[in-house]
Amino acid sequence: MVGCCGEDGCGLDAHQERQRSTLRIVLAINAIMFAVELGVGLLAGSVSLVADSLDMLGDALVYGFSLYVVARGPGMKARAALLKGWIMALFGLFVLAQAIYKIIVPHVPEAGMIGWMGVLALLTNGACLALLWRHREDDINMTSVWICSRNDIIANVSVLVAAVLVGWTGSGWPDIAVGLGLALVFLRSAFFVLRSAMRSLEESKASVPAPVVDSSPERLP
């Protein structure tokens, strides 16, 4: 019958469409939160909020690229995961640089603004994590996306803890300690994603059949 497909084919198409739908939603959430958090971070004079807003921007880029490769083969998905791993590593190094900067140039941010913005970021990232939960083991593409979202939750909770301690002590050192911890989390996750992506890339290359060489003798005209 015209318009019908095999059960496996239709199931795969439906599954990929669910992945696309989820990625579109979390991409929109992160793009909006990037703009909101960046504005609040600048108003509060908070380097940690500005850094977290850049993390939101990076996640939006990651989700966009993941959306692009949903229907691609394992090789393309592995390359996408490599890109996401390097983005994680860059954010880890950026947060590390911010923590070092705060040690050199002490600064006490506005704890109240950090706190309520941290709550809003936690709620939105929690929604993203819930949406991505059922896709966390689909493939290397969706697994790396889920790891990005999980890192966001860790970052948000850590920022809230830092906000409480900064408000309680009147010191910027809790913010620095949290920054160093987040840098380690990002770098560790980046290592995991990069290692998994390289393994998947090698497996995809090994599964490609070698070209067939015609060894039959050439026929004379």
CATH class of 14-205: mainly alpha
pLDDT of res. 1 = 42
CB 147 within 8 A of CB 192: yes
Q: CA-CA distance, 71 to 19, in Å (whole number)? A: 10
- Out of 25-34, 37-46, 129-138, the most confident range is 25-34
**Mean pLDDT of the 48-76 span:** 75
Does the pLDDT value for residue 131 go beyond 60? yes
Element (H, E) at 90: helix 74-104
Q: Where are the domains of the chain?
A: 14-205
Evaluate if residue 86 carries a pLDDT over 80: yes
Cα–Cα distances in angstroms (integers) from residue 100 to residues 4, 49, 64, 159, 181, in the given order: 60, 16, 31, 17, 12
Tell whether pTM > 0.75: no
Span 179-190, pLDDT tens digits: 788 778 778 878
Confidence of residue 18 (pLDDT cuts 50, 70, 90): confident
The tokens describing 157, both together, are 């909770």
pLDDT at 7 over 80: no
Q: 73 — phi, psi (to 5°)? A: -80, 175
Contact 45, 145 (CB under 8 A): no
Neighbours of 87 (CB within 10 A): 21
Give the pLDDT of residue 10.
59
CA angle 128, 167, 49 (to 5 degrees): 35
For residues 182 and 154, the answer to whether their CB atoms sit within 8 Å is yes
216 burial class (0-12, 13-18, 19+ CB within 10 angstroms)? Answer: exposed
Q: Enter the DSSP assignment of 46.
A: -
Higher pLDDT, 101 or 77: 101
Asked if pLDDT for residue 72 goes beyond 90, the answer is no
Could you report the per-residue pLDDT of 102-111, keeping only the tens digit for each? Answer: 788 777 777 8
pLDDT of residue 3: 46
Q: Is the pLDDT of residue 134 over 90?
A: no
Cα–Cα distance measured from residue 215 to residue 25, given in angstroms and rounded to the nearest whole number: 54
CB 186 within 8 A of CB 158: no
Task: State pLDDT tens for residues 148-186.
Answer: 788 788 878 887 888 888 888 888 788 778 778 877 877
